[in-house]
A and B are shown apart, each in its own frame.
Chain A
């Protein structure tokens, strides 16, 4: 079965700093990979996805992620953090259904 592992349950950055959230996947077939964001007491909102084609994918709110097959990674980045980016972020892989990582809580300091 396919799975994802998120490295770091909590990441803290200063406003304006680079955001890097790490995700590694395990899959025997070319994966479909996703990043979701969750604000407190809300459902999950799709940030971006990789299915096929270009390995650098751009999403909403200035986020992007790069699929690296050689490293089995799909890390999420944003050049400059904003206070409103503070949330929980989940990496996911689509098997027969969506399988999520444990999440990374992003804190943005003023």
Chain B
């Protein structure tokens, strides 16, 4: 297993367009997390899945954001009607239970909204 993969690495989009990011977790990990990181800040939690169930969503996840993990494997994060404030690094992580093992992060998708 090569770790957590995210695609694309970089995305530049015009304001108002929709974007979708993909995350492929480590295959044995049943939990998958999305975080957003802006410049000079720590990652902020967005949402997480256990298998295909979305168990928690942050208040940061406005109604323009939607995440799915349809078969309990890869996940997608879609942002509709992008705004300049959405520009950030979007990080995906996965973990197994028990949680004390920590998270394995992907390299992230850097979104720039122009």
Contacts and interface: CB of A to CB of B under 8 A. Distances in A.
Interface in A58-110: 90, 92, 94, 96-103
B4 A43 contact: yes
B85 interface: no
Q: Interface range on chain A: under 10, 10 to 19, 20 to 34, or 35 or more?
A: 20 to 34
Interface stretch (B13-21, B59-67, B68-76, B97-105): B97-105
A43 B103 CA distance: 11
Interface string B24-55: 00000000010000001111110010000000
Interface residues of B, number: 23
A43 B33 contact: no
A48 to B, nearest CB: 9
Most buried by A among B45, B93, B100, B102: B102
Contact of A98 (B6, B103, B110): B103
13 contacts: A9-B40, A36-B105, A43-B6, A43-B107, A44-B103, A44-B105, A45-B105, A98-B103, A99-B45, A100-B42, A102-B40, A102-B41, A103-B41
Given A42-B108, A43-B107, A103 B99 contact: no
Given A101-B42, A102-B42, A103-B40, A32 B4 contact: no
A97 B48 contact: yes
A9 B41 CA distance: 10
Given A32-B99, A102-B42, 4 more contacts: A44-B43, A45-B105, A94-B99, A102-B40
